[in-house]
Each structure stands twice: as C-alpha cells, then as structure tokens.
Structure 1
Amino acid sequence: MRKDLLMNITSYTETFLIRMKIIENNSSEIQLQIDKMKQLRAEYDMKEVKHFFSCKDPSKPIPGMILEESVNLDALNKYLKHLEDKYAEIKQLMSKKYVPAQRKADLEEEMIMKLKRRDVAESLNKELRFRHQRLQIISYALTSWLKSDKSSSFQDFVEQSEKTKDLQGDLGIGEELCDEDPGKAKEAELLLYYFERFNELISLGEYEKAACFAATSPRRILQNIGTVDKFKAVGKIKGRPFPLLSFFEAVFSTSHAHRRPVNAELTLEGIKCGLSEKRLDLVINWVTQERITYSEAAADVICDYGEQHAHSKAKCLALAQIIYNECGLNNKAVLCLCKQGQIHEAMEYIQQFKDFTSDDLMQLIQLCPHFELIQCLTKEWNGKPPLLSFGLAILYLFSVDMKKVGIKLLQEINQGGKDAIEQLMINDLFCCLGRWQEVANICLQNGFDRLCNDIMSILRSQAGVTEISEDDDTVNLMQHVFW
C-alpha cells in the first residue's frame, strides 16, 4: 500500500516538473517576442517623430480660438494674417540680431588675410622709404657738386652728404619711419580688438561684462552714444540687472580714475537712466563725487524728477543747486534755495552775487511766491537798503494774476498802522508817487479802505504835492509857468 502511494507521488512529481519546464520555455519565448515587439515599436516611434515632428492633429482645437471661431472663415483668415505678421516680424528680428556662426569664421579669415597684406605692405613701404632716402642723398650731393667748382669728386660729395644726413636728417627720417610702424599699428589692433570683443559680449548676452569692458576701453572709445544705443536696444531682462544702468554705473565708477569726468552728453543720459530706475542714490553719488560734467540740462532733469516725486524733492533741489552753482546759473541756484525754504541763505547768495536785476528778483518771487522771501527782498537786510520796491512788488503780483499773495502782503502792512506804511513809503526809493497812487487804488478795489486812505494821506503830506480833483476844470496846470 505504502509502496503504491510512493510510486504515485513520484509519478505526479515528474509530471509537474515536466509541465513547469514547458511553461518556462513558453514564458521565455513570449518574453523574447515582447522584447522584439518593444524594439520594433521604438524604432517605429522614432521614425514617426522624425517624419511628423511638425505635423499637428487637425482635429484638435486651434490655440487661442474658441470652437465657433475655428469654423468661421473670416476668423481663420484674420488669425492666419496675425500668424503671418508674427512670422515676418520674427524673421526680420533674426536677420538683424543674429548672424550665422560661419559669418564669424569668414570675418576672422578675412581679417587674417588683410593683416598679412598689411605686413607685406609695411615691409615694402620700409624698403621704398629707404630707397627714397638714398635718392634724396644722391640728389642733394649732385646739386651741391654742380654748384661747386668741381675740384672734389662726386663720390666725395655723396659721402659728405651721407655724413650730414647721419648727423641731421637721419633722426627726422627715422622718426617718420617709426611713426607709421609698430606703435600705431599695435594701437590700431588693440582698438579693433576692443570693438570686436564688445560686440561679441553683446551678442552672447553677457551684458554686465560688456558694460565693464566698454567702461575701461582705451581712450574711452566705447564711451559714446552709439554704445548707449546698443544697450537701449537690449532693453530690460527679467531677473537680471538693467544692462544700460550697469553700463553707466561702470562708466561713472571709472571716470575718477581717468582724472576727468564723463562728458556732458553721456552725463545727461546717465542721469536720465538712473532716475528712470528710481536710483537717486546713484545720481547723488555721481554728482557729489564730481564724476559728471555739470550742465544746465542735467540739473533741469533732476529738478523735474523732484517735482514728480515729493519725497525726494529736497534732495533733488540740493543736487540741482550744486550743478547750477558750478555752471554759474545764479538765478536758478537761488530759486533752488528758496524752494527748499532756505530764505536767509538765498538772501546771502543774492547779496554775494550783485548781478541780480529787479526783473530777476520779480521773476524769482513769481516762481517762488514765498511770503518770507518777499518780505526780505522789500525790507532792509544786514543794514543794506531793500533790494526790491514794495510798491512795485505789489503792482507786479497783481499784474501776473498772483492776487492772493498780493492781498496777504497788504494785510501784513495794514496791521502795522500808518507809521509803518509811511516809513515803508519813505524808504522805497524805486516807487514814484504816481505808482503809489496805483497801489492805493488796488487797496480800495480789494477792500483795504483804511490802507488806501493812509497811503493817500501820506502822499498829500509830501512837500510840493497837491491833489487835483477830476471835477475841477478851473485849475490851470500851466499857470505857474506864465506867472
């Protein structure tokens, strides 16, 4: 019984092993077929990608268009026109901004050929100049020999001419030869290298390096408006410093090393660029460190920026005042002081520079109608007489539609009483009695009746002044002439 059971188990085991062997063989074959199919599929997909890389499924919706527009002929034509314009624009930009790499190789080859031609020409030039020198010596010797008594041989004259040239003429000829020889040629090569290297850095997008390279160029050959235009064409790049501002930072930082400031044209562009980027701190540094060329236009730009940005107005006025001072524009310098509220400093400035006319001062109070300024101009200052007539100032303010300021001055003087008015009129050397009568009329028109009466009373009290009524026809104005 047990023997039969053992034989059955052995038989089942052998059968199971045989079947497992068959299954493993089948699995291996199937795996090989799968791998082969994958390989074929991959090769097929690569061919499809290469062949249909630019093809798009026409059944998919067109990007940027809704379903209704994608079946509308007019909308499709309009979208096609848009794509064609965009393609033409991109193509034009590529033709301007990019050149084939082969072009660079061709240019380098062309440069090498031209340098070789230059070397050959220089060598030939040296030889020809040497021959020319020899011919000059012979010509000079022949002329001298013909003018002589011919007691000496022509060869002696040639030798004497050579000695004379060695002592006198050779130095000049040698200098001429050297002028066109190594120094200038090397300098030209250096300048050419700077131009090419700068353009290469721009084309590679290394704008910070290009900015530093241009700023340190020999003889400032790259510090010009052409370079500025190139950086302007680049524009702003997201996540990177503004290339144009980087250029100006590099230029102004190196200007002190050159012991002379940046020229006026670049200074103006640099200040505009710095202020457009709200970098007033840079402009302050450039001005105070004397790295710029001072000009009226630069100061005007700073003033305009201060008017547009109230929180920076005081700093801008102080900077502009420095520039106006350096340019000798005293009127604008005083105006900056007044706008900063520095009235006493402005008065000192005006008295220091005695070239201010009454018209200049009138224009000053029009541009800066500061009450304290007008008071200082129309009163004694440090024991000196008033710089401006109070009466004429009142008339001017009302004539230029600055009535509010004029009324405020009238209110101030009205509070002082008749004695103060009389003292003011007596000390006013510029305003005649007729002009004071005009001031009285203005007072009457604006409700200052008592002030008007006080002025007229003071006018009547002046010696030789008589009031003539307009209704009195019996008065003969010429009677005193025929008496």
Structure 2
Amino acid sequence: MSDTGSGYSTPTSGFMRLPPIVTSESDRQFLRVLNDYIEVELRKVNPEDDEQRYIVYKTAFNKIIEHVTAYQPLLTTIKKEYEDTIEAIKKAQREATFLHGKLKAMASEPSTIRNYRKRGDELEERVNIVKKDNERLHNQLIELKVKRMEREKQEKEITEPPKRELKKDHRLIPGERFTDKELLHTKLEELDRQLKELTISFKTRYVPKTRKTELKDNLDNKVAHRDMLLRQGQFYKAKRQRLKVASEAAQAYNREKPPHQTVGDTVMMSLQYAAMQAKKQREAVTHVEDDDVQLRINGRTPLLMFCDALMPSAGSENARPDARLSLECVECALYENRLDLLSHWVAQKRLTFSEEIGHLIKDHCKCKIPCRCSCQALAQNVFIKLKIYKEAIVCLLKQGRVKAGLDVVRQRCNFSREDYEELLRMSPSIQLLHTLVEVDNKGERHLPIGCAIMNLMEQNKFDLALPFIQEMQNKPSKDDPHTSAFHAAVLDDHGTSLHEWNELVHILQDQGYNETAMGLLAAITVLQAMKNALRTSQEEFPTLGQSENIDVLS
C-alpha cells in the first residue's frame, strides 16, 4: 500500500493515515541521540528510585513529542493518560498511609482507656496516702505546741533575773580622728585636688552671662556686614555684566559697522536684550517652591540645617518646639536618614512627643525581626514617655526582646487572649510563639497552641508555623521528659475544635510535611481518647470526680 500525494490516504478505506515515524537520516540521528541521552541520565540516577527514572523517561518522551509533529496529538493523549494513572496511584498511596496511621491509633484506643483507668486508681490510692501523712503531721504539730507551752510556762516561773554582761565600747573618742596627722594630710591633698578641678572647670566650661550677650551682638554685626557685602557683590556683578555686554556690542559694531546705526544704538539694544533675558531667568527661579529641600549645602538640606540649629535652644520644657514643628523635624531627619541626630534629640528631650511621632519612627523601620536600625528603640522611648504601653511592647518585640516586652505586660497592662493574638499578628516570631504557648510561673499559657498556629496560618506564615511545630515536637515537656512539649500543649488546648485540628493536618500534608502531620494526628488522637475516657468514666462513676475532686486530664 503506497502513499499518494500529501494526504496519506488509503485507496480502500478512505481514512487519513499518519506518516511513518522515521523518514530521513535526521530522524535516525535523533533516535540515536535520544537513546544515548536516556542511557547517560539513567547512569546518573539511583536505579532503585522509580521517581527519578520516571523523570528521565518523561523528559525523553517530551522530546519525541516535540520532534514528531504528526504524532503530537496521539502521543500527548497517551502521555496524559500515563500521568493521570501515576498521580492516581500516588494519591492512593498517600491516603493508604494516612488511613493506616489513623487505624493504628484507633486500634490502640481501648488500651489507652484501660491505662487511664488504672492511672485513676493509682492517683486515688496516692490521695489516701497523702491524707494519712497529713493527719500524722498534724498530730505531731499539736504535740510540739503543747511541749512549747510547757517550756515557756517553766521559764516564767524562774524569778531570778539573768545577770547582765557589760559590753566593751570600741568606738573612738569624739575628736580623736582629728589628731591623726596622716589622715589630715590625706584629706588636705584630696581637697586641694578637688579645688584645682573646680577651678579648671570654672575657667573652661563656664563664662559670665554678659559674654553670651557680647557674642550674640558680635554675631549680629557680622551677619549684617555679610549681608551688606553680598548686596555689594551682587551690585558689582550686575555692573560687570552690563559692561561686558556693552564692550562685546561695541566690538561687534566695529567689526561690522552696519549702516544707519551708531555705536550707542547697538550698545543700548544689547543692554535691553540682556535685561530681558535676566528677567525671564528670575521669573523661572520664582516658580521653584520655597520649601524645596533637594538643594544641599555641605551634604545637608536647608530644612535639616534649620532643625539642627533649632534644637540647641530647646533645652527647657517651655522652649521646646510644639508638636507640629517637632513632627516636621522628625520627618526631615528620617527623610535624610539621620538617625544619629534623631537619637540625640530624643535622648536630650528636645522634642514635644506625640503619638504621631512614635508611629512615624516605628513605621520607618524596614528591618526583619530583630530590628537593626534602632528605629524601634527610639519609638519605644517615645511611647514609654507618652505611657502608650501597648505600642511600646510591640516595639520591644520587634527588637527581639520578648522577655522585656512580656515583663511590661505584667507590670503595666492587663492583657486578654485577644490582646496576645494581636501582638502575635503585629510582630510574629518563633521566640514569641514559644513564650506565649509555654507554661509560665503561674502554670498558665498565654495562648493555646492551636490558636497560635491558626493565627499564623491565616497570615500565610508557613515559614514560622512549620519550624515552630517541629521545634515543639523535638523539645521535651517540663512535666514529663518522655513526652514532647507539642504533645503536652495540644493536650492542654481545650479551645481548638477537632475540625480545626484536622484542617491543620491536611495543610501540613499538602505542604509536604507528612512526618509533622503524623505527629499532630497522634496528639489529636490521644486528646480525643482522653476526652472519650473522661466522658465514659463520668457516665459510669458520676460521683467519683465530685467526691475526690480528681481531674483525670491532669
């Protein structure tokens, strides 16, 4: 059966027939290169790893699809069917692993309930032992009190007072130390040294108040003289410019000597033209804004020079600039990135602080936690002086000073659970997470671990949530070294629902953290088993918890 024309149709059936795969020497060369590529890549990968071998053959298949244009639809369909089948197999394997772990956990649930019942009996026995010890100690205490009362009664019956012993007085006689020559000589040298230091300090650091007035008058005179010289310079500069224009116009007239025009006419026309150009230039300059800070003098803008010159006169509280002017000075310093000047102004109390200044400095920081540019420290000082402690705490947390921030919370604030959640949203960090979910000195947790993790998930902070969970799983609990801190925190979390825990497990699996998801699933299963055990024990023995006040979950 031969091909006729370009349609590749058969004479008997009339259907389109695909062209042969190998039709030229280039196709044979392509097949040889492809086989060599497959052999080289297979030698590079692990022969027992099916995933890597699949990637090699998948890449080779893609190259064949790109090379054989006529078979592209058919080969693409075949490739899609293989990929769907492989993906279905992988999904089934993941589900089988997950269901196997869940089935294993559910299978161990009856033994867990039996162990907790046994633990409840042991605790009840220990309570009885403690009660007996308390009664024995109480009886011993009563006996000791009786013996003490008898001893005190016998001591009161003794009528003879005890003999008093005379104590020797080793104090110096008044005035005795003023007769010691060495002591007086040492004191004299110390006073002479202090006198010299005060004299030098008086001569070098302090001057009479009249000297300040003289210096101010001298400065005013020099400023007036400088302004007069500037005006003279501008006048002479304009005069020189006019003479230069007149000279150049006269020289041009002498070179050309145009008819019907004198030298005076040429000079006058040139001066008028120069005056018109100068006027246009002045009008263009007046369009520039007066507060344009882009002009720099010695590396500083005029506005920053004004702010820096204003601060030395703001020593007292009454001489400080008002809130609006202080805000403008802070904006200028931040715009020029002069945090050294701003730190000096804040430390010397040269500004009138306001909440807007604190937020402006805090928002200028672009560092990741912890802050390295000192903006958060400056904003913290401002908020502390204004007694806005919540914002000051946020600044401390952004500096990485979690302990100091929570100390301020205990001393100055009364935070609720919502406040701690807001702190976590404003300045999330792994150190803050550990501090909030761990048990404090009072035996309490600021936030349940489920609430903290869900808070991070809502902000898409996977880079913090996943390492935090792994660190908690690798860290032993304070109460039981054989139990992880994460397991203990999950058991103490009574606010997170089972549905929310399951959502977190699915998220961890989707991100590829299967081991972490299995650890969380194990903790959830134990928590659910404990709740079921408690509910069963309450149904069977309704008066046990009420009579003995035993908390099975603890």
Relative to the length of structure 1, the TM-score reads: 0.46
Which of 1 and 2 has higher RCO (CA within 8 Å, sep 6+)? 2
